[in-house]
Amino acid sequence: MNRASPERRSTGAGPERAGVPRPRRSARHATGRDPGLRGPGRRPEVTASLAAAAVFALLCAAGTVSTAVRAGGLVRVFPVEALLAAAVLAAVLAAGYWALRRIRPVRPPGAAAAAAALLWGAAAATGLALIANAALLSVWNSVLGVPAGTSWGPSLTAPVNEELIKAAGVVILAVAAPSALRGPMDGFVLGALAGLGFQLAENAIYALETIVMQGATAGGASVLGSLALRVGLTGAGSHWAMTAVAGTAVGLLAAARWRPGPRRAWAAGLLMLFAMALHALFNAPVLVSLPGTAAKTAAVFTAALLVYLPVRAAYRRRLRNALEAEGQAVDLRRSDARELATRHGRRNALQRIPAPDRPAAARRQLRLLKAAERRLDGPPGAPE
């Protein structure tokens, strides 16, 4: 398209105007925050972020030690099988990481925040849950008796310990990096990534323990069989889905600056209980056949989807409105501004620009998107 086309004229002079404006310089656009927020007023946030980052690192280290105590001996005895499990789970990790970042509409979460969520699930949550589960299982054995405690202990223990520990990581991330978790949509995605990290670490531990349970006569077959069940059959509706629901609850609270009104507090509490209930159903000693296990997996996946779809729709609607407002500040047409709310729309806008100008136009798109996302940070209690 030449530079004199109607599309160019409709949005202003210059090739960059087709849906990718050149933002005006202002305190808000230049610094990424409201000019009224001075340095001293932000010091408590910085202190809280640094403290949260320190707690995050400490708990990840503690969890890693706990996991090493549990599984280190198995890795030393079965190194080849451990490498086999690691290779399979690395492929699952790559696919899961790509897919879960992709489900965030408009643009994926930052790589650092996504990696931190994975790390929390794989290191901190896994190791801390091993300690907490052992303690609570012994309580159930004492209260219910060994037979009932053995049968029902996992469905009574894991939903409480594991979901709270995994969700705690999302809370710590929200405090350490407030811009990474602004609302329920971010909470869903980062919760799902934390759950994925936990799921992969748990799968690795169970795969190695299966070798011993099956007599250590065919270690490779034991590992592959365990992973086929835990990845192929139950992977679609396991920890990632449960913690995505719990993470949505954290996102509701984070969007209200941790000062939610009654309605939002109730919604967050119910979502957290819902995540625990899904975990209890998944671990319950009912429907233990392969078809029954597949049915429970489908139920958990469907429940997560029912949470995701309205959260996604609300996020996209609010972001389109924010893009319109940001577009008005740079004389961008309403339709062009709303077009930036989708990956397809941004690609189309770039295709209308000469190739040499596209990198700069893409950077302007990103700046406008970030400005619109900052606009979503409303006052405490504002709806998501």
- Average pLDDT of the residues in 119-144: 92
Task: Tell me the C-alpha to C-alpha distance, in Å, between residue 291 and each of 179, 210, 223, 234, 350.
Answer: 42, 21, 22, 11, 48
Residue 101 has pLDDT above 50, yes or no: yes
Tokens of 185: 């949509």
Query: What's the chain's average pLDDT?
Result: 85
Listed ranges 10-14, 96-100, 331-335, 376-380; the one with the highest mean pLDDT = 96-100
- Characterize 84-117 residue by residue with b for buried, 16 or more Cβ atoms within 10 angstroms of its Cβ, and e for exposed: bbeebbeebbeebbeebbeebbbebbeeebbebb
Q: In the block, which residue shows the tokens 């969520």?
A: 117
Chain length of the chain? 384
CB 28 within 8 A of CB 35: yes
Tell me if residue 88 falls in helix, strand or coil: helix
pLDDT at 41 over 60: no
Mean pLDDT, rounded, for 67-95: 95
| Cβ atoms < 10 Å from Cβ of 205 | 19
Residue 129 has pLDDT above 90, yes or no: yes
Say how far apart CA 50 and CA 263 lie, in whole Å: 31
pLDDT, position 371: 82
Q: Which of 28-42, 260-274, 276-290 shows the lowest mean pLDDT across its residues?
A: 28-42
- Nearest alpha-carbon partner for 242 in 277, 217, 283: 277
Of 70, 66, 180, 161, nearest to 116 by C-alpha is 180
Distance from the first to the final alpha carbon of the chain: 39
Which pTM was predicted?
Answer: 0.84
CA distance 319 to 342: 10
- Which positions ≥6 away from 215 have C-beta within 8 Å? none
Q: What average pLDDT does this structure show over 245-273?
A: 94
For residues 139, 144, 150 and 156, what is the CA-based torsion angle, rounded to 10 degrees? -70
What is the percent of the chain where pLDDT is above 90? 58
Mean pLDDT of 106-120: 93
On the 0-12 / 13-18 / 19+ scale of CB atoms within 10 A, 265 is: middle
> Of the ranges 3-7, 205-209, 301-305, which one carries the lowest mean pLDDT score?
3-7
For residue 85, pLDDT beyond 50: yes
pLDDT digits (tens, 9 = 90+) for 187-241: 999 999 999 999 999 999 999 999 999 988 899 999 999 999 999 999 999 999 9
As a whole number of angstroms, the distance between CA 43 and CA 197 comes to: 32
| pLDDT band, residue 380 (cuts 50/70/90) | very low
Given a cut of 80, is residue 37 above it in pLDDT? no
Would you state the pLDDT for residue 20?
Answer: 52
**Given pLDDT bands bounded at 50, 70 and 90, which one contains residue 140?**
confident
Answer with the residue of higher pLDDT: 340 or 35: 340
Per-residue pLDDT, averaged over 62-83, amounts to 94
* Res. 245: pLDDT tops 60: yes
Helical H runs in 5-121? 6-11, 27-31, 43-77, 79-102, 111-119
Q: What's the pLDDT score for residue 44?
A: 73
Q: Which residues contact 144 (CB under 8 A, 6 or more apart)?
A: 152, 153
Whether the Cβ atoms of residue 120 and residue 197 lie closer than 8 Å to each other: yes
Give the tokens for residue 2. 């030449």
